[in-house]
Structure 1
Amino acid sequence: MTWKRSIIVTGGTANLGYHAALNIAKSHPDYLIVLSSRSNKDNAADTINKTLSQDNCIYISLDLSNLASVREYAKQWAAQGRPPIQSLVLNAGLQFPGGLTKTVDGLESTFGINHVGHALLFHLLFPHLSDTARIVLTSSGTHDPAMKSGLPDAVYNSAEDLAHPPASMIDVLGRQRYASSKLANVLWTYALHRRLAERRPHASITVNAFDPGLMPGTGLAREGSGIERFLWLRVLPCIIPLLRLAVTPNTHTPAESGAALAQLAVGEDVDGVSGKYFEGLKEILSSEDSYILGKQDDLWQWTINYTAESDEERAKFDI
C-alpha cells in the first residue's frame, strides 16, 4: 500500500506514546505510523497492527541520548523515501532521580534526551515535513512552579548550564533537572512557533506543547528506587480516582492521555492552532518563565550552535 503521510511518535513503544500511536493508527489507516524508541521489547508496532487488523505501524530504533543515533535515523529516513511527515510527536522522556548522569555526548542526560535529541531530530527531519505538518512536544505541568506538582521548581538560567552543569549545579536534584527540561520543551515550542510565523509566514506548520498530567504506571520512574518503582507501577495506578481528588484532577491513565496526545497530532479541531500549551485537550497558560523571550532565544541559539556540525547546517537549522 502507498501511504499518504507519515506520523512519527518518539517513545511510541510503551505507555503514553503507545496509546497515542494506537489512536492515530486507528483514525488514519492510510498513514504510516512510525514508533521510534531505543528498544521495542514488547513488539509494539506488531501489537497495534494485530489489534486493529491493519499493517500501517512499523518500529524504527532511535536513541535520543546519542546524537549520532539521531543523525543515522534521519539519514536512513531520507534514503528510504518515505511519505511526507504529517505529525512529529516528540514524546519520549526520561527522569533520573539520583545524581548527575551524562549522555555519551557529555550532556546532562535529562536535558540531552528530553530536549537536545528531539531538537536535532526536528531540524534533520524538517525538509521531510509536509506543508501542513504538526509538531507536538510532550512537556509536563511540573515545568510550572504555580502548579505545585511536588517536584522542585524548574530553573532556567541558560541552556549551557542545563547541558553542562557548572559546579554550583552538580548537586541539583534529578527531579529538578526533569522539571527544568520540561520548561525547555515549552520554551523551544514557543521559539519555534515565533520563527515559523516570522520567517515562514505562508507555511502552515504548527507546533504545540502538551501536558499529559500525572500518569501512574508509566515508565517514567524506571530510574527510581525499588520502593518508588513499586508505588508508581503497582499502587498508584489502582487509586487514580483518589489521586484526582487528593492530588490533582489532571491525573489520567496512559490510554486517556494518549488519546488526547493523538488528538493534538491529527485532530481536525486543532487544525491551524500553533504556539499553545495544552493540559490534555484544554488550552491553558504555561509558566511565567516560559514566555520570557530572552530564555526562548537563548535556548534556540544554544541548541543550533551545539547540534549543527557546520556553518551551512547551522544556517539550515535556524529556520
Structure 2
Amino acid sequence: MSSRFQRSVLITGGTAGLGYHCALNVARKHPEYQIVIASRFDSNASAATANKLLGHENVKFLRLDLSSLGNVRSFAQDWEESKFPLIRALVLNAALQLPGDVQYTEDGYEKTFAISHLGHALLLCLLQPHLADTARVVIVSSGTHDPAQKSGMPDAKYHSAEELAHPTADSAKNAGRQRYTSTKLANVLYTYSLHRRFASINEKTTKHWTVNAFDPGLMPGTGLARDANLFERFLWHRILPKALPLLRLMLSPNIHSPEDSGEALAWLTIGPELESKSGLYYEGKAQIKTSKASYDRIKQEDLWEWTVSTLARNEEERKAFCFSDVL
C-alpha cells in the first residue's frame, strides 16, 4: 500500500494545532515520505485537507487513542499489517490538560500522565522494530515543567512515576494543571533516559537514533484548553490568538501561533542540521537548559524502570522494551 514512499513520519495529535502544522510542513518538504497523523478522530478531515492544500497524497490519518493501552497495541498491530515504510521520525505530541478533578483512564491511570507519557512510551516500544537505521524521536514537553520559568502554572513535582500514575489521597487533591506540568517534567526525564539507551545502541550497532524534547511555547487557540470552562475557552480561542504581540510584550516572548511552533517542530523533526543532535531540549529553535529536577538521574531511572515494568506483559516484552534485542 505504501511502497511508493521511502520512509514514514508518525505524528500523534496530528489532526489539529501544533501537530497538524508540523505534519503540513514535513509533508510539504518531503513528498516522498508517508506522513501519518494519529489521533482519536479527524473530524475536520485534516489529512484530506493537507493533501488538497499541498497537491500531494502523502498524508494519512489513523485512529489512535493513547488513553487506552489496548488501543495502542491494536494500532501497532495495524501498523505492522499495513507494511508502512520504516519510520524516519516519530513525533510524540498528543497531550491534554484537565483543570478539574483527577480523571482516570479505562486502565486505571491518571489521564494526563497516561496520554502524554504512558501511551506514548508503549507506542515507541511497540514500533521500535519499525524504526529506520537513522531515525528521530521528538517528545513535545512544555516550559511549564520548569518552575524557574515562572509560567504562572503550578510547579511541577515528581516524587515517583507511581504517584503520577496513581495519585495518593493527598496528591489527588492537587490542581489539574499541576498534574499537567508534572507530566511535562516526566516527558523531559524520559527524553534523557531514552537518550542514554539510544547512545548505547548507536555505539554498538550501525543505527543512528536520536531523541530530543521540544517546548512549543504558549499557543492560544489550540485544543489544549478543550476541557476548560466556557469563559476560559472563549478567551483561549477567540481573544488571545488575536493578541499575540501584546502577550509577548506583557508576559513572555515564548508565545506563538500553532503555525509558527509547528514549523519549529517540523525543523526539529526533519532539519538536516540536527542529524547529530540528541538528548537536548529546544524552546522553539533555541537549545536551552531544562529544570533542575529534570537532570536528576534517580528520577529519570525511576520513570524508566516503572514504565517498562508497567507496560511489559511478560519477560520477552520486558527485554524488548529495554532494547535488549537491539543491543
Find the aligned partners of 1:5 and 1:89 in 2 and give their Cα distance: 14
Find the aligned partners of 2:289 and 2:6 in 1 and give their Cα distance: 34
Matched, 1:238 2:256: no
Q: Which residue in the other structure is 1:56 paired with?
A: 58
Please say if residues 98 and 112 of structure 2, whose CA atoms lie closer than 8 Å, have aligned partners that are also in contact: yes
Per the TM alignment, residue 198 of structure 1 is displaced from its structure 2 partner at its CA by: 2.5
Among 279, 304, 316, the residue aligned to 1:300: 304
Find the aligned partners of 2:277 and 2:208 in 1 and give their Cα distance: 10
Q: Which residue in the other structure is 1:81 paired with?
A: 83
Matched, 1:260 2:264: yes
Matched, 1:211 2:215: yes
Q: Which residue in the other structure is 1:226 paired with?
A: 230
Per the TM alignment, residue 199 of structure 1 is displaced from its structure 2 partner at its CA by: 4.3
Rate the CA distance shift 1:44–1:150 in 2: closer, same or farther, 3 A.
Answer: same
Find the aligned partners of 1:204 and 1:248 in 2 and give their Cα distance: 36
Please say if residues 66 and 119 of structure 2, whose CA atoms lie closer than 8 Å, have aligned partners that are also in contact: yes
1:153-192 per-position Cα deviation (integer Å, ceiling 9, x unaligned): 0000000000000112110100000000000000000000
Find the aligned partners of 2:222 and 2:112 in 1 and give their Cα distance: 17
Rate the CA distance shift 1:199–1:26 in 2: closer, same or farther, 3 A.
Answer: closer
1:86 partner SS: strand
Find the aligned partners of 1:60 and 1:92 in 2 and give their Cα distance: 14
Matches within 5 A, 1:88-107: 88-107=90-109
Find the aligned partners of 1:184 and 1:80 in 2 and give their Cα distance: 32
Q: Which residue in the other structure is 2:45 paired with?
A: 43
What RMSD in Å do the two structures reach over aligned CA positions? 0.8
Matched, 1:72 2:67: no
1:67-125 per-position Cα deviation (integer Å, ceiling 9, x unaligned): 00000000111111110000000000000000010011100000000100000000000
Among 243, 247, 251, the residue aligned to 1:247: 251
Q: Which residue in the other structure is 1:143 paired with?
A: 145
Find the aligned partners of 1:294 and 1:184 in 2 and give their Cα distance: 12
Paired AA for residue 123 in structure 1 = C
1:60 partner SS: strand
Q: Which residue in the other structure is 1:285 paired with?
A: 289
Q: Which residue in the other structure is 1:167 paired with?
A: 169
1:23-75 per-position Cα deviation (integer Å, ceiling 9, x unaligned): 00000000000010001000000000000011001000000000000000001
Find the aligned partners of 1:88 and 1:170 in 2 and give their Cα distance: 32
Paired AA for residue 216 in structure 1 = P
TM-score using structure 1 length: 0.99
2:63 partner SS: coil
Q: Which residue in the other structure is 1:130 paired with?
A: 132
2:102 partner SS: coil
Uncovered stretches (5+) of structure 1, i.e. residues with no partner: none
1:191-225 per-position Cα deviation (integer Å, ceiling 9, x unaligned): 00011113442431000000000100000000000
Q: How many aligned positions are there?
A: 319
Please say if residues 36 and 61 of structure 2, whose CA atoms lie closer than 8 Å, have aligned partners that are also in contact: yes
Matched, 1:155 2:191: no
Structure 1 stretches (4+) deviating beyond 3 angstroms? none
Please say if residues 202 and 209 of structure 2, whose CA atoms lie closer than 8 Å, have aligned partners that are also in contact: no
Q: Which residue in the other structure is 1:29 paired with?
A: 31
Uncovered stretches (5+) of structure 2, i.e. residues with no partner: none
Find the aligned partners of 2:303 and 2:139 in 1 and give their Cα distance: 15
Q: Which residue in the other structure is 2:18 paired with?
A: 16
Q: Which residue in the other structure is 1:179 paired with?
A: 181
1:170 partner SS: helix
1:63 partner SS: coil
2:170 partner SS: helix
Find the aligned partners of 2:91 and 2:166 in 1 and give their Cα distance: 26
